[in-house]
Amino acid sequence: QVQLQESGPGLLKPSETLSLTCSVSGGSISSYYWTWIRQPPGKGLEWIGYIYYSGSTHYSPSLRSRVTISLDTSNKQFALKLTSVTAADTAMYYCARGVATTGLWFDPWGQGTLVTVSS
Amino acid sequence: QSALTQPASVSGSPGQSITISCTGTSSDIGGYNYVSWYQQHPGEAPKLMIYDVSNRPSRVSDRFSGSKSGNTASLTISGLQAEDEADYYCSSYTSSTTLIFGGGTKLTVL
């Protein structure tokens, strides 16, 4: 079955750029919405954005000015870049496969990677 | 776009049924059949439980069911079991073509 695995630095300083990669195994990249979602410690989930396999992207309005999601189909990976991070960006970052039927839902999810922003 | 509104906590005894509500607006829940529900155990990633309001992945127990009325969606768990104790999140597509989540509900099995 499809599995997703996040990777990237776990500690950043304020103003740096967060860069994470999600590797997809056991399934196709095609026809899905490859998504990033984050969860601050002890808080709820926040949708960051997605990239469709065709390359089109869609981002949360609150993060749009700082976010870029890209896709490497040959290596079955997609990436998240978030610029000018602050302590408010400290969170567990999940990648997930978005499936569009009537709506858009996420399954499966990666195990998550904790990113801490601290000076 | 504000988060969907969920109760902070619900509880029930083993064997009982509980319902978790998720309230939005006509711009999200009320306008589309795009509601999904996720279960998250401590220290784990969320798992899909319900999609498109009331559809259940084959791996999910039929004790879990979803519904919607107006601007409020609901997740019902029947025959409550200890393993159901977890956080539950609802999600909906919006008229702004974004995705929003509820604040999460902590289910305690007494």
Instruction: For B20-51, write each residue's pLDDT tens digit.
Output: 999 999 999 999 999 999 999 999 999 999 99
**What pLDDT score does B1 carry?**
62
Taking CA atoms, A59 is separated from A72, A82, A105, B56, in Å, by: 18, 11, 16, 27
Percent of chain A with pLDDT over 70: 100
Average per-residue pLDDT in chain B? 96
Q: Name the closest residue on chain B to residue A36, using Cα atoms.
A: B99
Of B35, B41, B1, which is closest to residue B21 (Cα–Cα)?
A: B35
* B95: confidence class by pLDDT, cuts 50, 70, 90: confident
Of A34, A39, A38, A63, which is closest to residue A50 (Cα–Cα)?
A: A34
Any CB–CB contact under 8 A between B24 and chain A? no
Q: Are B50 and B22 in contact (CB under 8 A)?
A: no
Contact residues, chain A, for B32 at CB < 8 Å: 103
Indicate yes or no: CB of B89 within 8 angstroms of CB of A94. Answer: no
Any CB–CB contact under 8 A between B106 and chain A? no
H helix intervals, chain A: none
C-alpha span between A99 and B95 (Å, rounded): 18
Any CB–CB contact under 8 A between A55 and chain B? no
Indicate yes or no: CB of B33 within 8 angstroms of CB of A102. Answer: yes
Percent of chain B with pLDDT over 90: 92
**What pLDDT score does A112 carry?**
98
Q: Higher model confidence: residue B95 or residue A2?
A: A2
Q: Are B12 and B80 in contact (CB under 8 A)?
A: yes
- All residue ranges of chain A with pLDDT < 70 are none
Contact residues, chain A, for B45 at CB < 8 Å: 94, 109-112
What is the biggest distance separating any 2 CA atoms in chain A, rounded to whole angstroms? 44
Of A33, A48, A29, A31, which is closest to residue A112 (Cα–Cα)?
A: A48
Of A104, A105, A110, the CB nearest to B45: A110
